[in-house]
Amino acid sequence: MITLKNISIRQGGFELSGVNLTVAAGEYGVLMGRSGCGKTTILEAICGLRAIESGSIRLGDEEVSGLPPAERGVGYVPQDRALFPTMIVREQLAFALVLRKQPQTQIAARVNELAKLLGITHLLDRAPDKLSGGEAQRVALGRALAHRPAVLCLDEPLSALDEELHEEMCCLLEHIHRETGVTILHITHSPSEARRLAGCHFQMENGKVVRDEA
């Protein structure tokens, strides 16, 4: 579950205040809004990458607004995917698990499991610059899911993909959601994408988040 209560964020001249948002556990939330309205900022606040001035952020039953990003248990897929250029796909998937000092055999098993879930088993030994857009997106998803986070934050995950891949990735996201039961907050500016995926649907207007029941 993701609960934002009355949070306010300020960065330079840009300001958001009194933002409230709740995504129930295991739900697929889609947050829509125009470019530059602060969607990414909210996502970064949830991940702990941007400090909030006031309010509270709860993930599950835990108040996380004072925790470093590492301890929040979120998976984050930024818009540009940001695959680490010096690591092959296998290392990217194993990254979070290596940090948690899990035994080699467990890491290998989890990497294979993720690769199978995402259909990237044949790509495990590739460098990220040899991946297509869709493949890179899958790897970024796998990297974010590796440590079994309770919450997955997706920043416009489908924006750079062509029509055909778009549909394929939508299916994949639904599949992941079903298989893992993770709570997802997905940012987009495409209404069709929102209709296609959303379990619950939020709209950002004038610096406020409104739950859209339609």
Partner 1 sequence: MSDPPKPKYRVASDKPFLIGLGVLAGSYLLIIGAMVFADLVFLNYGDQLILGNERVQQGRYVESAVPIRVEAGRTYHFRLGKNEVGLKHEGQMLAGEGLFKANTDEVQLQPRIPNAPITASLRPEARVIGIALTNHVATLTTDEPHGLLWGQFIRVHGAGAGWDGVHEITDTTTNQLSLALPEATKVATTVELTKPNPLVQALRSRDIQFSIMLSLISCTITTLLSIWVAVPIGYIMSRFDFRGKPLIDTLLDIPIVLPPLVVGLSLLILFRYAPDWLSDSVVYKWPAVILAQFMVACAFAVRTMRVSFDQIPQRYEQVALTLGCNRQQAFWRVIMPQAKGGLLAAATLSWARALGEFGPILVFAGATRQKTEVLPTSAFLELQAGRTEGMLAVSLIMIGAAVIVFLIARTLGMKRIFA
Q: Are 123 and 141 in contact (CB under 8 A)?
A: no
State which of positions 58-77 bind partner 1 (CB under 8 A): 68-70, 72, 74-76
Cα 180 to Cα 51: distance, rounded to the nearest angstrom: 29
130 binding partner 1? (CB under 8 A): no
Cα 142 to Cα 112: distance, rounded to the nearest angstrom: 10
User: Toward partner 1, which CB reaches closer, 64 or 198?
Assistant: 64
82 binding partner 1? (CB under 8 A): yes
Ranges of beta strands (E only) in the chain are: 2-11, 14-23, 28-32, 54-59, 62-63, 74-77, 151-155, 183-188, 200-205, 208-212
User: Toward partner 1, which CB reaches closer, 69 or 207?
Assistant: 69
State the greatest distance between any 2 C-alpha atoms of the chain, in Å, as a whole number: 50
Structure tokens at 14: 């840009």
Which segment (82-90, 109-117, 128-136, 164-172) binds partner 1 by CB under 8 A?
82-90
Which segment (13-21, 41-49, 57-65, 185-193) binds partner 1 by CB under 8 A?
41-49
What are residue 151's phi and psi, to 5 degrees? -130, 135
144 binding partner 1? (CB under 8 A): yes
Cα 153 to Cα 183: distance, rounded to the nearest angstrom: 9
Cα 81 to Cα 158: distance, rounded to the nearest angstrom: 11
Q: Which of 5, 10, 126, 147 binds partner 1 (CB under 8 A)?
A: 147
User: Toward partner 1, which CB reaches closer, 146 or 197?
Assistant: 146
* Residues linked to residue 63 through DSSP beta bridges, in sequence order: 58
146 binding partner 1? (CB under 8 A): yes
Q: Which of 62, 63, 80, 205 binds partner 1 (CB under 8 A)?
A: 80
Structure tokens at 55: 């309010």
134 binding partner 1? (CB under 8 A): no
State which of positions 83-122 bind partner 1 (CB under 8 A): 84-87, 95-96, 99-100
**What residue ranges bind partner 1 (CB under 8 A)?**
44, 47-49, 68-70, 72, 74-76, 78, 80, 82, 84-87, 95-96, 99-100, 143-144, 146-147
